[in-house]
Amino acid sequence: MHASARLKQSLLAVSLGTLVASTAFAQTPAPATPAPPAPDNTVTANVGIFSEYIFRGISQTAGKPALQGGFDWSHSSGFYAGTWASNISWLEDFGLYSRSSLEWDFYGGYKNAFPGQEDWVYDLGAYGYIYPGSKNPNVVNADTWELYAAIGWKWVSLKGSWTVSSNYFGLQPAGQKTSGTGYYDLSATYPIADTGFSLLGHVGYLDVRHDGSGDFEASYADWKAGVSYVVPEGVLKGVEFGAYYTGNNATTAFYTDLTGYNTAKDRGVVYVKKTF
């Protein structure tokens, strides 16, 4: 056999071997790229427009709309902190402050699942409600600090909050300090399959320390029921629309402001909000 013929056969064998190896390699699945680890720190922002600001069943804006928003930081260990703000009018409406239109909140705590029980979580923390502005003479400061503890299962939570500042939002219905006031909140947000809709429900009870009686009783029970919808796709993806109706058994005289507006009356609220 001529040298040239042998060279051609060698080149053909090498080419066939390379083709077989390439085909076998192509048929072997490539190893999956591991998902990147979750970040230790997460920062989110939120903004919402509400037809009225209701806090624990009581109006904070006397029937007027509210613009609200804030920022939240959380760590993979379970620690978190945040700040949130809304316009208000109740301090001026009740003649307590001469200038005050802002509620500015600060909070932080620790939230995690119980060991071996991912559906059960606990949450411990502190919450501060700050009201910049000018108090009228002889008016108690409305700034309030609370400690809270909560336990949750899937879409249900039970939470207790206790005032540790001198007074609960400046209230002194019997002329005594109201430190130690408690608010107890049972809430649920039940998702309806994969529709994006959720049913909202809540019952709560405010137990004012050193409460008054009759027209000066400040304690009450409150409730709300409603529905929300989160847009799943498109340009409005993640936007939440909601509506709920709320009521309570609070004393009308105590919660009626100087303009004659009953801040405790039953009412409906609609809103739209977004978390980024």
- Name every residue whose Cβ is closer than 8 Å to that of residue 226 and which is 6 or more positions away in sequence: 199, 200, 201, 242, 243, 244, 245, 269
- Within-domain flag for 144: yes
Is 12 part of a structural domain of the chain? no
pLDDT at 51: 98
Dihedral sign, CA of 67, 71, 76, 79?
Answer: negative
Q: What is the pLDDT of residue 19?
A: 35
Does residue 21 lie in a domain region? Answer: no
Distance of CA 255 to the CA centre of its chain: 26
Q: For residue 199, give its domain range.
A: 42-275
pLDDT at residue 31 above 80?
Answer: no
pLDDT digits (tens, 9 = 90+) for 173-185: 999 999 999 999 9
Counting the structural domains of the chain, the total is 1
| CA pair distance 157, 203, nearest whole angstrom | 11
Distance between CA atoms of residues 48 and 65, nearest Å: 11
pTM here is 0.86
Any domain includes 8: no
How sure is the predictor about 206, in pLDDT bands with cuts at 50, 70 and 90? Answer: very high
- The answer to whether residue 61 is domain-embedded is yes
204 occurs within a structural domain = yes
> Per-residue pLDDT tens for 77-125?
999 999 999 999 999 999 999 989 999 999 999 999 999 999 999 999 9
The answer to whether position 193 is within a domain reads yes
Q: Is the residue at 20 inside a domain?
A: no
Nearest to 272 by CA among 61, 57, 65, 58: 65
Query: What amino acid occupies position 152?
Result: G
Residue 42 has pLDDT above 60, yes or no: yes
Phi first, then psi, for residue 124 (nearest 5°) are -130, 135
Question: Quick count: other Cβ atoms within 10 Å of Cβ 21?
Answer: 10
Of the pLDDT bands very low, low, confident and very high (cuts 50, 70, 90), residue 9 is very low
Comparing 17 with 189, the larger pLDDT belongs to: 189
CATH number at residue 65: 2.40.160.40
